[in-house]
């Protein structure tokens, strides 16, 4: 009977969607875990989605160039800069803890490698992309007034960052959420501001092919690719860490 075939078809599609979502989650966790445990020589992590997965918010050509040229260039330059130095046995977070003392080539490229891995880890396809959970929404409302106000402030943080940089949502040691803009390849870890849970790359190379100089339009489209499930996982792991006394 047709209705039965239809029912099975829908059930199979639902199961496949759930499996795909679970695979996406685990790939995104994997790249961040991988980059956090790596030491020299560092490697370019596998992109957790295809180049065209973020269409139409972020176009395939931009993702291709951003990942295979820009991100790769940071990894290659970091390996070159670290070779034979006393820092070659350091993990990235250990480098960030002493960021002030690092030569610029190591500081910039270590941030470049980690920040890009973090960016890929917290975005996903806009197809059937669920928004923030009730718990996440409540927390955003508590810290920023409303979800709309949070989005407006996050956008303002990125749009007003002069030149190249990043917009971040961080969990501070007291458990509150805060917004922060970093310049070049600095991040909340190099600045010791808290644990990042969401990042938007606002360097021109992240949007220029599609949006030209319209950074604000890129940031509006960014909401379609935010992986809120991943943001919440990062939040949970950040707040469960021992807090400084």
Nearer to Mn ion, 47 or 235 (CB): 47
Nearer to Mn ion, 161 or 201 (CB): 201
Please list, residue by residue across 5-42, b when 16 or more beta carbons sit within 10 angstroms of its beta carbon and e when fewer do: eeeeeeeeeeeeeeeebeebbebbbebbeebeebebeb
Site for Mn ion in 85-144 (CB under 5 A): none
C-alpha dihedral, 189 to 190 to 193 to 196, nearest 10°:
-30
Nearer to Mn ion, 116 or 155 (CB): 116
Nearer to Mn ion, 154 or 203 (CB): 203
| CB of 19 vs Mn ion, minimal distance in Å | 30
| CB of 12 vs Mn ion, minimal distance in Å | 38
Nearest CA to 118 out of 58, 71, 52 is that of: 71
Cα–Cα distance, 188 to 100 (Å, whole number):
13
Q: Which two tokens stand for residue 125?
A: 């396809």
Site for Mn ion in 56-75 (CB under 5 A): none
Please list, residue by residue across 140-170, b when 16 or more beta carbons sit within 10 angstroms of its beta carbon and e when fewer do: beebbeebeebbeebbebbeebeeebbbbbb
| CB of 17 vs Mn ion, minimal distance in Å | 30
| CB of 49 vs Mn ion, minimal distance in Å | 16
Nearer to Mn ion, 17 or 213 (CB): 213
| CB of 201 vs Mn ion, minimal distance in Å | 4
* Closest residue to Mn ion: CB criterion: 201
Site for Mn ion in 196-225 (CB under 5 A): 201, 203, 206
Cα–Cα distance, 60 to 110 (Å, whole number):
25
Asked if residue 189 lies in contact with residue 164, where contact means CB atoms within 8 angstroms, the answer is: no
Binding-residue total with Mn ion (CB under 5 A): 3
Nearer to Mn ion, 67 or 228 (CB): 67
| CB of 203 vs Mn ion, minimal distance in Å | 5
Strand partners, 168: 180, 199
* Cis previous bond, 56, omega within 30: yes
Taking phi first (over 0 means left), then psi (-120 to 50 degrees means alpha), and beta for anything else, what does residue 98 get? alpha
Q: Residue 161, interface with Mn ion (CB under 5 A)?
A: no
Nearer to Mn ion, 71 or 230 (CB): 71
| CB of 3 vs Mn ion, minimal distance in Å | 50
Positions touching Mn ion (CB under 5 A) are: 201, 203, 206
């Amino acid at each position: 009977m047709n209705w039965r075939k239809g029912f099975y078809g829908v059930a199979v599609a639902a199961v496949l969607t759930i499996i795909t979502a679970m695979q996406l989650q685990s790939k995104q966790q994997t790249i961040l875990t991988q980059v956090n445990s790596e030491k020299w020589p560092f490697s370019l992590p596998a992109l957790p989605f295809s180049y065209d997965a973020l269409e139409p918010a972020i176009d395939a050509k931009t993702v291709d160039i951003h990942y295979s040229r820009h991100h790769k260039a940071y990894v290659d330059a970091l390996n070159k800069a670290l070779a034979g130095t006393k820092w070659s046995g350091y993990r990235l977070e250990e480098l960030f803890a002493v960021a002030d003392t690092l030569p610029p080539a190591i500081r910039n490229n270590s941030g470049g490698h980690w920040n890009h891995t973090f960016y890929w880890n917290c975005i996903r396809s806009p197809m059937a992309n669920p928004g923030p959970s009730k718990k996440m929404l409540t927390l955003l409302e508590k810290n920023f007034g409303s979800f709309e106000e949070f989005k407006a402030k996050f956008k303002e943080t990125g749009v007003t960052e002069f030149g190249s940089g990043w917009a971040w949502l961080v969990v501070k040691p007291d458990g509150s959420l805060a917004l922060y803009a970093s310049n070049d390849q600095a991040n909340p870890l190099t600045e010791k501001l808290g644990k990042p849970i969401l990042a938007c790359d606002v360097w021109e190379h992240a949007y220029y092919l599609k949006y030209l100089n319209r950074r604000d339009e890129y940031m509006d489209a960014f909401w379609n690719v935010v992986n809120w499930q991943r943001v919440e996982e990062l939040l949970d792991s950040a707040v469960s860490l021992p807090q400084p006394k």
